[in-house]
């Protein structure tokens, strides 16, 4: 039996697919390659070009295949972009989810692992959240992820919802780097190039120890393990119809910490400038991870420093 991986040619998706193949799981990747790269994928993995915003593409994907379940990563994911273009985020992240769920129901596919986000929590009191914390997103991106979680439940799909915090780092594949245009580490790395503009630190007056935003950064190599644990959970048939788990380390690091860690990995300081805070951002958010340990027997094992160093070593222009 096969698992469909939407967005499987993206940064996280390609890591997940590679781990699946090592574990003997068949995967078919569905990706429009707007943010993904075919060269990230193992040569024996089928890539189907298509978009979740096109119902015909999604229906053709599932029609005539024996599918065990869907890992759904395809989405837009920039907080700032979602504030500027909320309609586009609704179209891709919510309407696209509806197309996928309808096609799954028609094809008799009843399992999903969903890549959700810590953004569903909004601005939590105290900055630390468990899965029991109130979901109250403050930006369109977070709202679309929460809408996706609700839609899965409404369609009666058994699911594991992975509320991912800030995924960083890289594996050993030569194309494993996160080269996205909206994440912090790629922006920092680009600022390290000769003649580049300093990286913008968005706000330095938050109520945090360094004045800069605090996030829970988790190594992608740890993250991919929980996707396989989620598959095992769904295939076992155990537990509730929708299991929601945080995917983080339980430790927070500030933007200043990131700059310092990159400077150590690169053996030179990071050029930066202070810029106004970004609409839709929160001062601090860190995961409580007990449920992942209890229900999926997962915990993060790699350190923040290891994650940053692996990301730098995989960066195309490092060294």
Catalytic residues: 141
CA distance 164 to 146: 13
Strand 214-215 with 253-254, pairing: antiparallel
- Nearest by Cα to 247 from 163, 124, 303: 163
Identify the CA nearest to 10 among candidates 200, 192, 201, 223: 223
Give the C-alpha separation, 115 to 160, whole Å: 9
228: nearest Cα among 241, 213, 247: 247
Question: What are the C-alpha distances in Å from 205 to residues 201, 211, 213, 274, 277?
Answer: 11, 5, 9, 10, 9
Q: Is the separation of the CB atoms in 90 and 151 below 8 Å?
A: no
Best CA proximity match to 75, nearest among 107, 45, 100, 106: 100
What is the longest distance spanned by two Cα atoms in the chain? 55
The secondary element (H helix, E strand) that includes residue 6 is strand 2-6
């Amino acid at each position: 039996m096969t698992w469909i991986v939407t967005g499987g040619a993206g940064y996280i998706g390609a890591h997940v697919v590679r781990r699946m193949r090592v574990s003997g799981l068949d995967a078919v990747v569905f990706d429009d390659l707007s943010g993904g790269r075919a060269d990230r994928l193992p040569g024996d993995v089928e890539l189907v070009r298509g978009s979740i915003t096109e119902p015909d593409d999604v229906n053709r994907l599932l029609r005539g295949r024996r599918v065990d379940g869907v890992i759904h990563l395809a989405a837009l994911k920039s907080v700032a972009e979602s504030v500027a273009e909320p309609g586009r985020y609704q179209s891709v992240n919510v309407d696209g989810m509806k197309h996928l769920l309808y096609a799954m129901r028609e094809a008799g596919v009843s399992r999903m692992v969903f890549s959700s986000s810590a953004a569903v929590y909004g601005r939590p009191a105290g900055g630390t959240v468990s899965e029991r914390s109130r979901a109250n997103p403050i930006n369109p991106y977070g709202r679309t992820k929460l809408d996706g979680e609700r839609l899965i439940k409404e369609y009666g799909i058994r699911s594991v919802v992975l509320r991912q915090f800030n995924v960083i780092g890289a594996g050993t594949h030569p194309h494993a780097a996160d080269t996205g245009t909206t994440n912090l580490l790629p922006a920092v790395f680009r600022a390290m190039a000769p003649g580049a503009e300093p990286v913008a630190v968005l706000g330095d007056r938050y109520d945090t120890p360094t004045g800069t935003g605090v996030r829970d950064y988790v190594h992608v190599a740890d993250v991919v393990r929980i996707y396989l644990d989620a598959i095992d959970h769904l295939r076992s048939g155990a537990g509730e119809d929708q299991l929601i788990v945080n995917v983080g380390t339980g430790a927070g690091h500030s933007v200043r910490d990131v700059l310092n860690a990159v400077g150590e990995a690169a053996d030179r300081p990071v050029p930066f400038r202070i810029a106004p805070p970004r609409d839709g951002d929160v001062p601090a958010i860190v995961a409580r991870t007990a449920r992942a340990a209890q229900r999926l027997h997962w915990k993060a094992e790699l350190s923040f420093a290891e994650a940053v160093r692996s990301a730098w070593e995989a960066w195309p222009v490092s060294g």
